[in-house]
Amino acid sequence: MAKTQYEVGEAGQEISEPDDGGYGGDDEAQAAAKRAKKILIRRPGMVAGRMHWRDGRNVKTWRYAAQLAFVLLNAYLCVQFYLWVRYYETGGATLKVARPAGVEGWLPIAGLMNLKYALTTFEIPPIHPAAMFLLAAFLLVSVLFKKAFCSWLCPVGTLSEMLWQLGKRIFGRNFLMPRWLDVPLRALKYLLMAVFLYVAVTMSAEAIEAFMRSPYGLIADVKMLNFFRYISSTALVTIAVLVIGSVFIQNLWCRYLCPYGALLGLVSMLSPFKIRRDAEACIDCAKCAKACPAQLPVDRKLQIRSAECTGCQSCVTVCPARDALQFSLRPGGKGAANGDVDGIARRWRRRVLSGAMLTLLLVLVIGGVIGAAKGSGHWQTVLPEAVYQQLVPLAQRLAHP
Ligand code: SF4
Ligand code: SF4
């Protein structure tokens, strides 16, 4: 075992960095290290099993910041879009604002249809192109960084997480579905995804264009807003059931029903970044598996390939052992044994994606796609004012073609 600036101890003995003094004890982690007869090298910054939220290495802080920023962005888009709709509904009597094309992120089916249109015609669709660009950006994020969209950005995922955390606080735990029910229920979201994919893939480019240019297609975004403004009692009861159920069951909507998450999950299996465990640094405490909202066996796998992994890094956040668990590319050279601090660190050098770096890359990828769409003049749906003046007030009466 390499002798370094770290104190070196017997198997199961805690080793800490001299300049990181003041660690609170973490009896659980030490006991696990002893049981596994491994040396626990503490992760820098961990105090009593936690990392301070202001520590720049704390992934949770970065993720919460990204979630908050995306919720605020969506709230802003929603208010601006509502004002835009009101302007036409009142015949120009209210404040005139620009239509925020970003709301098309809430039109995933239009995004899918437009993607099919673009792939078959090699032309950028003129109606709701932002829906396609945003879908493409989120697919790209998933190809690169697992389903990070779901756990870092999606406002529905954020709400879902808040609800199960509330349930955990109230009841001390969340409830797990029995496996015989969990597996078929998880299949539901893939079934829904298959239906939407089938619709988009089997429609010809001409049919997609005809739909998008129909009165309903032109103001599909207004129809979406009105769905929530004039919500039916059936939809309200369904949402209430999902909200209440999410307090008891972790990520009820995301885990069992969200077709968008299902699609991103399948694509995410291509991601070069994965949760990876270093068996030599790991002390087999199983904290990671316990913290995983997707109930994945993180403590027993060397890498998590599952389409259910959202890249939330809740597992990484709780891991007490240095270099034992990371969101990373494949590790480098082998040969470093338990306790070899430098050898294990070398294995992961320049391969790990920190919370700060992931946040930056998410901004760059999504910002890059939006910037390219804007720069090339393809971000906005451009329609004459008269079309909106005529159609927006009629939105409630327009039926699906
Ligand atoms: S394995 Fe880790 S990153 Fe993946 S879902 Fe579970 S806690 Fe999140
Ligand atoms: S990887 Fe999991 S089992 Fe291993 S030390 Fe970290 S939290 Fe414990």
pLDDT 10s digits, 212-242: 999 999 999 999 999 999 999 999 999 999 9
**Spacing, Cα 311 to ligand 2 middle (Å):** 16
pLDDT tens track for 326-368: 999 999 877 789 889 999 999 999 999 999 999 999 999 999 9
With b for 16 or more beta-carbon neighbours within 10 A and e for fewer, the 264-286 pattern comes to: bbebbeebebbbbbbebbbbbbe
Ligand 2 pocket member 325 (CB < 6 A): yes
Nearest-CA residue for ligand 2 atom 6 is 319
pLDDT tens track for 26-43: 678 888 888 888 899 999
Ligand 2 pocket member 321 (CB < 6 A): yes
The pair of structure tokens assigned to 151 is 């756990």
Mean pLDDT (whole number) for 126-131: 97
Model confidence band, residue 13 (pLDDT cutoffs 50, 70, 90): low
Distance, in Å, from the CA atom of 74 to the CA atom of 332, rounded to the nearest integer, reads 40
**Spacing, Cα 274 to ligand 1 middle (Å):** 9
Nearest-CA residue for ligand 2 atom 8 is 285
Ligand 2 pocket member 285 (CB < 6 A): yes
**Spacing, Cα 305 to ligand 1 middle (Å):** 10
Amino acid identity of residue 366, one-letter, is I
pLDDT of 8 > 60? The answer is no
E-strand ranges in 113-271 read none
Sign of CA dihedral 130, 136, 141, 147: positive
pLDDT tens track for 175-191: 989 999 999 999 999 99
With b for 16 or more beta-carbon neighbours within 10 A and e for fewer, the 228-255 pattern comes to: eeeeeeeeeeeeeebeebbbbbbbbbbb
What pairs with residue 42 in β-bridges?
A: 321
**Spacing, Cα 358 to ligand 1 middle (Å):** 15
CB atoms within 10 A of CB 172: 7
144 with 273: CB under 8 angstroms? Answer: yes
- Ligand closest to Cα of 318 equals 2
- By DSSP bridging, strand 46-47 and strand 40-41 are unpaired
Distance, in Å, from the CA atom of 301 to the CA atom of 246, rounded to the nearest integer, reads 28
pTM of the model: 0.91
CB atoms within 10 A of CB 289: 16
pLDDT tens track for 81-92: 999 999 999 999
141 with 368: CB under 8 angstroms? Answer: no
Ligand 1 pocket member 296 (CB < 6 A): yes
Mean pLDDT (whole number) for 126-146: 98
